[in-house]
Structure 1
Amino acid sequence: MDSLKQMKVWVAELLDDEAIAALEEVCRVDIKYKVPREEQLAMIKDYHAVIIRSETVVDKEFLDAAVNLKIVGRGGSGLDNVDIDYATNRGVIVCNTPESNIVSACEQTWALMLASSRNTSHAWQFIRSGKWDRKRFQGSELYGKTLGIIGLGRIGGLVSQRAQAFAMRVIAYDPYIPDSRFEAFGVEKKAHLDELIRESDFITIHTPKTHETIDMISDREIGLMKAGVRLVNCARGGLYNEEALVRGLKSGKIASLGIDVWVHEPQQDHPLYEFDNVVGTPHLGASTHEAAARVGSEVVNEVISGLRGEIVKNAVNIPSVSEQTYAKLKVFIALAEKMGKLYGQIRRESVKKVEIEFSGRDIENPKDAKILSVVALKGVLEASVTEGAVNFVNAELLAQQRGIEVRERIALETGDYSNMIRLLVSEEGNGVFEIAGTVLERRIPRIIRVGDYSVGFIPEGRLIYAPHKNRPGVIGKVGMAMAEYNVNIAKMVVGEGLNNSIMILNVDNNVPEAVLEKCLTFEDINDMKVVEL
């Protein structure tokens, strides 16, 4: 039975039905929405994963109660309701789905920009009351106007592309984005926010909610804007100071406002509700059928990966990877982790330093090296801690707590191979133990060195590791002992070292402790261990 069948997942907020069905095929799933806080704290101890959106608060109190929690999956991109630092300290993976709803959020931005600039919502309410008038609803065209975009990330980039279809001049402010991205989108870069504010007829914001961005637009900034400026916020509540917006609308400085996100959600009343030139929606940026399906599918896949101990592509508290990078690194990630696991199961020494060296054209980016380093480190530590206690989030923290130095480096020399990963473990009193591996034909992982021995085997399944003296009859003795205890040897690889040799046996069934004990009585067998990869 799949071990995940014992894992319990709480779906705490709305999730696509097909995504829930996919999750239920793998895990035990409870769907409980709108659970009161006290009940949340009482029940979370029973769950290994929780899937949330924007309402459930995963803070220190929540995480302290979540004694079995392994991963928090956030459907959507915002994470201001999750204490990421504390989750990291607790070894809990936090992931989101940053690209699943970007098209929907972009389109909602345009829906509010158009509706507010053309008074669409107010006009509809007006004619529904039995009245008719056109003059009072005169609006503003987008054509030829200047659109200022604060934040040229995923959503901001999509907004800029669509703005060009309206023949708008597009300017943007984002100090964290390279010039090449501005050039790629044909957007004029502004070095200072004030420049953008002074020049824009329309302003839209697309940044995360951080200490730096809260109240990014307030009274001072509104004072710098053109008279009749039109604002849109489909990012996060509080990026525009709501009290300042009220004052700007009352003064007439702000001609219209489109707003999808609020400081307090949900809410029954707000001063902005009183303005006819405001179009407000209840956080609908991701509320499309298409986005819901993408969000559900992606967050479920991430949660399942986290529960399986696999790399979580969109984790925010471990090195994350794009789809393209993950596709390139996937086989290297598997190899690095198995190299670490192999070390952890064949060595029982005190570790001082773990060094990962990568070489070859497939691994040239330091960020890629960091990902593979964490993966290998997790494997090294797994054998020496309680099962399930080490993961990609806390591996470096555990190493630091144990005084283990961790380094990664990129080398040029690959020897006879097009790529190579070397795991170099400095042991207390024993020098450095090396395991090396390579990927053949971009798809076949292979271990090529274990300690002093040059070998060549695929790291998978149940293996027997047996260094021995290079003398006639040793292999035969081991084979006969395995047969005596009904252990079937599917494959065998022999490698030579400086003075000794090594056997790596792939076996099909369980290996009784008795056969290991018998083999260790043979004078020529130096060591024998069963390895699960």
Structure 2
Amino acid sequence: MPKIVISEFMDEQAAASLEDRFAVVFDTALVEERATLLAAVAEADGIIVRNRTQVDAELLAAAPRLKVVGRLGVGLDNIDLDACKARGVAVKPAYGGNGSSVAEYVLTGALMLRRQAYFTSHAMLAGKWPRQALIGREVAGSTLGLVGFGAIARETARRASALDMEVAAFDPHLSAEAPEWSGVERHDSLASLLEAADVISLHVPLTEATQHLIDAEALGRMKSDAVLINAARGGTVDEAALADALRNGRLAGAMLDVFEQEPLPVGSVLEGVPNLILTPHIAGVTQESNARISQMTADNVRAVLAQSVEVHS
């Protein structure tokens, strides 16, 4: 019976749906125990991961029977795509499964950071009543700037329009004639988008070109009352530069779901930074999206392994 190893959390019902045809090892501790993971994949035909399991040359060498990597999500920077291709290992992301969850996260961040009224519980419980200090801004009429305009960014744009936000975007990989630009202000450069937007949301993968895409220079182009949201990939924002901008009032606020190092190290440069919301890489994970992505991934892995059995039968 073919074997599938699941090294990170997924919907239990979706994982159980694989047990009728496969031997399933479902152990979320494997992501923390590299040696145990490598031993577990020795006879694996498939592996299902999120963003923390490194599917690299070492793991591929330890899994000579591996035929498919199911990715519970869409980011692929933890998977060595070239090595998988060279080995004939299929990589199957769960495209489209978490777009609504990420879009809701981004717009929640925009609403909270623009309003500036949600950081005061401690002061109020101490007897303070800082009403005038907390007169923030509405999102209606403000401009949401999307860096990257793929499927999740477009879902975010659709929902932002319902809040009466203006939507602008920059994406050098999307043709100027593409129909997706309908109703959206297209910018020819990142610089012009940063200068125009009241809320900047990142929707790009982590590559050499996007490493520290939002650095001190980029932050300096943003309005001082603008806010930044990153639910895309850690490393696209220079965290030290962001901390400096927030501490010095050159930016009104930021919400980060992804980081250069995950989990955050003790003594992070982000510690104690004002007007900053941090969440643990959870933007795309709700109960609903987890169920969708898990089932999509289980189906993807099942299909590849079933095809492999047909080819070799």
Instruction: Give the TM-score normalised by the residue count of structure 1.
Output: 0.56
Question: What residue is the counterpart of 1:109 in the other structure?
Answer: 106
Q: How does 1:286-305 map to 2 (within 5 A)?
A: 286-305=284-303
1:14 to 9, 13, 20: 9
**Compared CA separation, residues 265 and 223, structure 1 to 2 (3 A):** same
The AA in structure 1 aligned to 2:40 is M
Q: Deviations over 1:147-188 (max 9, x none)?
A: 21111111110111122222222111001113333433x001
- 2:21 is aligned to 26
Equivalent in 222, 230, 234 of residue 231 of structure 2: 234
Q: What amino acid maps onto 2:303 in structure 1? A: S
1:125 and 1:169 map into 2 onto residues whose CA distance is 34
Match of 1:54? Answer: 51
Shift of 1:256: 0.5
Distance (whole Å) between structure 2 residues aligned to residue 77 and residue 240 of structure 1:
19
The answer as to 2:158 corresponding to 1:156 is no
1:465-496, Cα deviation, whole Å (9 max, x unpaired): xxxxxxxxxxxxxxxxxxxxxxxxxxxxxxxx
- Asked if the contact 2:147/2:203 (under 8 Å) is kept, the reply is yes
Which of 143, 147, 150 is equivalent to 1:146? 143
* AA matched with 1:89: A
Amino acid corresponding to residue 143 of structure 1 in structure 2: A
Check conservation: 2:5, 2:40, Cα contact below 8 A: no
CA gap 1:259/1:52 in 2 versus in 1, 3 angstroms: same
Contact 1:115 1:279 in 2 (8 A): no
Is it true that 1:266 corresponds to 2:263 in the alignment? yes
Which residue number in structure 1 is paired with residue 222 of structure 2? 225
SS in structure 2 opposite 1:24?
coil
How do 1:510-525 residues align onto structure 2 when only pairs under 5 Å count? none
Q: 1:105 to 1:128 in 2, by over 3 A?
A: farther
Change (3 A) 1:72 1:233: same
What SS class does the counterpart of residue 176 from structure 1 fall into?
coil
Is it true that 1:275 corresponds to 2:273 in the alignment? yes
Match of 2:62 in 1: 65
* C-alpha contact (below 8 Å) 2:10/2:294 kept by paired residues: yes
CA contact (8 A) 2:201 2:230 kept: yes
Give the secondary-structure state (helix, strand or coil) at the position aligned to 2:18: helix
Matches within 5 A, 1:198-213: 198-213=195-210
Q: 1:127 deviation in Å?
A: 3.2
Paired with 2:147 and 2:195, the residues of 1 have a C-alpha distance of 13
Residue 34 of structure 1 aligns to a residue whose secondary structure is helix
Structure number, greater radius of gyration: 1
Tell me if structure 1 keeps the 8 A contact 2:246–2:274. no
Give the superposition deviation at 1:138: 2.7
1:146 shift after superposition: 1.8
Structure with greater strand percent: 1
Give the corresponding residue for 2:186.
189
* TM-score (norm. length: structure 2): 0.93
CA distance in 2, matches of 1:50, 1:19: 14
Kept after mapping to 2: 8 A contact 1:170/1:188:
yes
Q: 1:306 maps to what in 2?
A: 304
Residues 293 and 154 of structure 1: CA distance in aligned 2, closer, same or farther (over 3 Å): same
The separation in 2 between residues aligned to 1:202 and 1:137, in whole angstroms, is 18
Instruction: Output one character per residue of 1:317-353: Cα deviation in whole Å (capped at 9) or x when no partner.
Output: xxxxxxxxxxxxxxxxxxxxxxxxxxxxxxxxxxxxx
Partner Cα distance (1:34, 1:63) in 2: 19
1:118 maps to amino acid? R
Deviation at 1:285, TM superposition (A): 1.1
| Cα separation, partners in 2 of 1:132 and 1:85, compared to 1, 3 Å | same
**1:347-406 deviation digits (Å, cap 9, x = unpaired):** xxxxxxxxxxxxxxxxxxxxxxxxxxxxxxxx9xx6xxxx4xxxxxxxxxxxxxxxxxxx
Match of 2:254, SS? strand
The unaligned stretches of length 5 or more in structure 2 are none
- Indicate conservation of the 8 Å contact 1:173/1:190, yes or no: yes
> What CA deviation, in whole Å up to 9, does each residue of 1:480-520 have, x standing for no partner?
xxxxxxxxxxxxxxxxxxxxxxxxxxxxxxxxxxxxxxxxx
Shift of 1:212: 1.4
How many angstroms does 1:264 deviate by?
Answer: 1.1
Report the aligned-residue RMSD: 1.9
Q: Taking structure 1 as reference, are residues 129 and 290 closer, same or farther at Cα in structure 2, changes over 3 Å only?
A: farther
- Give the alignment partner of residue 244 of structure 2, picking from 244, 247, 250: 247
Deviation at 1:134, TM superposition (A): 2.1
CA contact (8 A) 1:215 1:239 kept: yes
Letter in 2 for 1:167: D
2:117–2:135: 8 Å Cα contact kept in structure 1?
no
Quote the Cα distance in structure 2 between the aligned partners of 1:154 and 1:42. 37
**Alpha carbons of 1:117 and 1:172: their partners in 2 closer, same or farther (altered >3 Å)?**
same
Q: How does 1:322-401 map to 2 (within 5 A)?
A: 387=312
Spell out structure 1 runs of 4+ moving beyond 6 A.
none
Correspondence for 1:175 among 153, 172, 177: 172
1:76 to 1:125, Cα distance in 2 relative to 1, 3 A: farther
Gap runs ≥5 in structure 1: 1-5, 311-378, 388-531
Between the aligned partners of 2:125 and 2:293, the Cα distance in structure 1 is: 36
Partners of 2:161 and 2:65 in 1: CA distance: 50
- Would the aligned equivalents of 1:122 and 1:276 in 2 still touch at CA under 8 Å? no
Cα distance in 2 for partners of 1:115, 1:234 equals 15
Distance 1:120 1:85 in 2: 47
Identity %: 34
The number of residue pairs the alignment matches comes to 309
> What pairs with 1:418-437 in structure 2 (closer than 5 Å)?
none
